Amino acid sequence: MSTAALLKKGLSLLLKRQTNILSAALVIMMTVVLSQVLGLVRQRLLVGEFGASNILGVYLASSRLPDLLFQVIIAGGLSSAFIPVFSDFLVAQKKEEGFKFASSLLILLSLSFIGIASVFFIFSQFFASLIAPGFSHSEIVLMGELMRIIFFGEVLFMLGCFFAALLQSFDHFLIPGIAAATYNLGIILGILFLSPFFGIFSAAYGVLLGGVFFILVQVPLLWRVGYRFSFVIDIGSSAIKKIFSLMWPRTISLGIFQLGSLLTVTLISFLADPGRKYVIFDYAQTLAFAPVGLFGQTMAQAAFPVLSRERNKPDEFRQTFLTSFYQLFYLVMPFSVLFIVLRIPVIRLIYGAEQFDWSATVLTSRLLALFTLGLFAQALTYLVGRAFYAMYDTKTPLLIGGLSTIVMLVGSFFAIVTFHFDIQSLALIYSLASMLQLFLLVYLLQKKTGRFLDLDFFLSVGKILIATLCMGVALYVPIKLLDKLVFDTTHTINLIILTGISSILGMAMYLFLTWLLRVKEAGMFLILFKKLGNWQSILSTSDELLSTPSKQQS
């Protein structure tokens, strides 16, 4: 095949629409894997350059307030309201009107974000002292300076996220996913090339570079789908009104959650060595939630447009939701066991830079295990939340999310301030609050859509749990025997071999038991793997992939 033909074929794959949930989810997962690999490289470079130090903790904490503003002002509208409302224009074949609405919304959101962010930019040092009162004066000054740079990066990130949401409405997931991955690439390049000159500021400058990459990668496809920005502000349009009526509960919900994350920084700042403790907390949380981003966010993101189109078809809506729920639970659970049993080898392999000492490794591994207890709840909450948003119900997730955040904050306050527990208590409380949130949301979704918490549901979930527990044993026994009798794990190559053998044995046990117990998702994914050579035709057979699992579940 000629070079031109290869380029043409590659371009067609990049521009191909994903027209069913599983194909969309698989494409998103591939791009999320790319993004997460780059994210782990970024984390490794940071800890390799600065260690588990107070200065790195200050940098990580400096992003919390910009993140809060972005989530409250921008993400609330994009995650819960934009895709359903914009999809209505596409269904009604009013694409040009939809583009004008999108431009108007973009202007309104941009003005709101820049206006509010300007206040925090000017008084950044004051807000830094409020967020982390336990930090020293020099650390507060540094945090304020870093925060100002990151605010500029959030403006660029806002534009990139808006373009991604617009492209996802057209069932394009690959290019937005690749663009999101380049955001981490910008930070990596900043650390590699600028750290000798600017120190910790190199990572903040990398945020700016990543934001530029995020935007530029998506521009050609935006042009191809026909989007042209128009300077129009129509505050009184019904679509804009619908966006703001739908987004305010999600905005408050995200605000409460982000405030919880911000107050976590405040609580940690009162511990001994707060910067170092926050690095360990952040690194453990980042690694624990990698499967949440890989599976939870991708499955929810892929299912959201479909659920939005099926909101007036209750039987199809319920079937699509359950199919996605079972698939997501099946994928997430083995990672929970892997992180709990293999926590120290995983931390050593991923974060084991020279400056990341043994005490940091041990504490990070303990936090990883505690965060992982709630991994399944975090992942499934994304899907259940999208189910509510697809039905134009953003209030229920707000109330339940707010309740779980209050539980987390109150528990964390008593753990740190009253009982003087260490940082590990925060991870455990976070996991328990996540489980509470999931259970309440699932119960309320059943009341809204019709009964699905029946015997078949609990049997399906129970089979996966049994296989997961057996997988844990299959992981624990060989790693203990091989560690004591065969491998000297002070050498990296031996650690890799030990972890690889144990992981393969554990995953083999999980796959075998789920097949033996006739877990439907196991059969479906085995078929996909067998036919991997014909993956293009597999991903295009939407009826087979969407209907087969749900029929088997019934």
Output DSSP code: residue 357.
-
What does the block give as tokens for 231? 């300077």
Whether the pLDDT of residue 6 is over 50: the answer is no
Please, are residues 205 and 198 in contact by the beta-carbon 8 Å criterion? yes
The pLDDT assigned to 535 comes to: 43
Higher pLDDT, 41 or 26: 41
Residues 468, 483: contact at Cβ < 8 Å?
A: no
pLDDT at residue number 314: 81
**Which of the residue ranges 199-203, 354-358, 456-460 has the most confident prediction, judged by mean pLDDT?**
199-203
Residues 6+ apart with CB under 8 A from 51: 353, 355, 356, 357
Assess contact for 53 and 277: CB atoms under 8 A.
no
Amino acid 551: pLDDT:
38
pLDDT cut 90: percent of the chain above it: 39
**Helix (H) / strand (E) containing 104:** helix 95-122
Higher pLDDT, 239 or 425: 425
Per-residue pLDDT of 168-181, as tens digits, reads 888 787 888 889 88
Separation of alpha carbons 153 and 104, rounded Å? 22
Please tell me which residue, 253 or 371, carries the higher pLDDT value: 371
pLDDT at 10: 47
Residue 516: strand, helix, or coil: helix
- Is the predicted pLDDT of residue 394 greater than 70, yes or no? yes
Residue 341, pLDDT > 50, answer yes
Copy the structure tokens of residue 459: 């049997």
Q: Is a pLDDT exceeding 90 seen at residue 46?
A: yes
pLDDT of residue 16: 58
Residue range 493-550, pLDDT digits in tens: 777 887 888 888 888 899 888 888 888 777 665 555 554 444 444 444 433 333 333 3
Q: How far apart are CA 104 and CA 102, in angstroms?
A: 5
**Contact indicator for 383, 325 with CB cutoff of 8 Å:** yes
Would you tell me how many other CB atoms lie within 10 Å of the CB of residue 238? 10
Who has greater pLDDT, 404 or 173? 404
pLDDT for 20 equals 55
- Cβ contact 516:510 at 8 Å: no
DSSP letter (8 states) at residue 301: H
Which of 83, 72, 28 lies closest to 386 in space, CA to CA? 83
Report the length, in residues, of the chain: 554
Using an 8 Å Cβ cutoff, are 321 and 448 in contact?
A: no
> Does residue 5 have a pLDDT over 80?
no
What pLDDT is attached to residue 550?
35
Q: Which amino acid is at 211?
A: G
Looking at per-residue pLDDT, the higher value among 66 and 523 belongs to: 66
Q: Is the pLDDT of residue 488 over 80?
A: no
| Residue 196 CB neighbours (<10 A) | 9
pLDDT band at 59; cut points 50, 70, 90: very high
Triad 432, 438, 440: Cα angle to 5°: 105
Helix axes 343-351, 492-516, angle to 10 degrees: 130
Q: What is the pLDDT of residues 226-235, one digit of tens each?
A: 888 888 887 7
Yes or no: say if 71 and 138 are a contact pair by the CB < 8 Å rule.
Answer: no
Whole-number average pLDDT of the chain? 84
Tens of pLDDT, residues 103-157: 998 898 899 889 999 999 999 999 999 999 989 999 999 999 999 999 999 999 9
Contact 172, 227 (CB under 8 A): no
The answer to whether 263 touches 416, Cβ cutoff 8 Å, is: no
Residue 466 has pLDDT above 90, yes or no: yes
Q: What is the DSSP string of 24-84?
A: HHHHHHHHHHHHHHHHHHHHHHHHHHH-S-HHHHHHHHHTHHHHHHHIIIIIHHIIIIIHH
Can you read off the two tokens belonging to residue 484?
């004591």
Give the 3-state secondary structure of residue 64: helix
pLDDT of residue 543: 37
Question: How many angstroms separate the CA atoms of 308 and 142, rounded?
Answer: 45
- Tokens 């290869």 appear where? 6
pTM of the shown model: 0.80
